[in-house]
Structure 1
Amino acid sequence: MDDSLERLGLAVSGGDAVEPERMVFADDGRIPNTPLASLAFHSRGVDPALDRDAIAARFERLFTASGWPPSWRGGVYEYHHYHSIAHEAFGVLAGRGRLRLGGEKGQDVELNVGDVLVLPAGTGHCHLWASDDFLLLAAYPEDQRELDLIRADPDAHDAAVARIAKVSRPLRDPLGGDLARWWA
């Protein structure tokens, strides 16, 4: 049995994933956002025996098994942007940081090692602050391997809304849970 959820601090008794913080952002005319909730699964503390590579390997296994193959490692751009043709997930491999979700008047979210963030297509996000060692693993649903990057721009808004409406919903969240539970 894979003990990744437990060792990443993302399991509750019974082995299920922790319940995520759910955030919904309104369309502001520049960033469409979506009625689907952004999900922040906050770790209760990563096993201190795991180094960054071991954390990455566990996230890679979890995400891949759940239909969200990892794509890249890095950080988040320091300007408001969104993706109109793919949902996006981040696993925090190291450090801590703060992102603003939902656009300029959105909500700040603190992320720490072990946390997982799921952003539905259209959700604005922007880097505000991070420790020097902050590192994310990004993943996208199997059928959403292409990625666009759109800045907060009213001229791009309407066409993006049309694309967002066509993005499929994965069956599972990146931790293996039933995504419809959170995106009903």
Structure 2
Amino acid sequence: MVQEIYIRDDGIFPGNSLPALLYKQALDIPLIFAAAYVQSQFAEHNWTNSWDAGIFTFHHYHSITHEVLGIYSGKAQAQLGGDHGPVLILEKGDVLVIPAGVAHRNLNEKNAIAVVGAYPEGMDYDMNYGKPGERPDADRRIAQVPMPENDPLSGRTGELIRTWSIKQWL
């Protein structure tokens, strides 16, 4: 089951009409080479340009791409959408897809969880922090981010494609 989390503009962070998607326990993490396993799962569906680290402890968002996070170790609370946004429990095996414009941060220590992040079609990413002057340019960039061709776990038949395709036309 995939949880849809809607994050709207809070006046500081843009949010997105597309929901963030939380896939609980979607990855069967191996005991060795866990990060490489997650990277390969995402790359199989063309979510690349990956990195391996924790999640920043400050609010940030991307205005030129969507992002997927695959948790391969640990457990932490992550907040979406700014100081008043929902708090999610992320743990080993979870996958979180974050639409462009949705702020996110780790409420625990940066390295409380180990994460592989990736981007559809290997898109580059930028960093935005909700500072004065970022918008409306960031809003224009977010509106131009293309729909991913694949769900990061299931390709063209995955939950992201089904859910986001419907929301895109509402």
- Which category of TM-score, normalised to the shorter sequence, fits these structures? 0.7 to 0.9
* TM-score, normalised relative to structure 1: 0.81
* TM-score, normalised relative to structure 2: 0.87
- The RMSD of aligned alpha carbons is 1.9
CA distance 1:99–1:178, change in 2 (3 Å): closer
The equivalent residue for 2:103 is: 124
Alignment deviations for residues 63-114 of structure 1 (CA, whole Å, 9 cap, x no partner): 1111101511111111111000011111001111111001111000111101
Partner amino acid, structure 1, of 2:160: L
The equivalent residue for 1:3 is: none
Aligned pair count? Answer: 162
Give runs of aligned pairs for residues 141-152 of structure 1, distance below 5 A.
Answer: 141-144=120-123, 146-152=124-130
Matched, 1:24 2:2: no
Calculate percent identity across the aligned residue pairs: 35
Structure 1 stretch 128-137 or stretch 23-32: which is displaced more? 128-137
Residue in structure 2 matching 1:89, options 49, 65, 68: 68
Runs of 4+ in 1 over 2 A off after TM superposition: 44-47, 55-58, 130-133
Residue in structure 2 matching 1:156, options 107, 130, 134: 134
Unaligned runs of 5+ in 1: 1-18
Residue in structure 1 matching 2:118, options 121, 131, 139: 139
The equivalent residue for 2:20 is: 38
Give runs of aligned pairs for residues 55-66 of structure 1, distance below 5 A.
Answer: 55-66=34-45
Unaligned runs of 5+ in 2: none
The equivalent residue for 1:167 is: 145
The equivalent residue for 1:51 is: 31
The equivalent residue for 1:77 is: 56
Q: Any conservation in 2 of the 1:85–1:148 contact (CA below 8 Å)?
A: yes
Alignment deviations for residues 21-65 of structure 1 (CA, whole Å, 9 cap, x no partner): 110111011100100010110007846xx2151x32332222111
In structure 2, distance between residues paired with 1:32 and 1:132: 26
Quote how far apart the aligned CAs of 1:150 are: 0.5
In structure 1, distance between residues paired with 2:31 and 2:139: 40
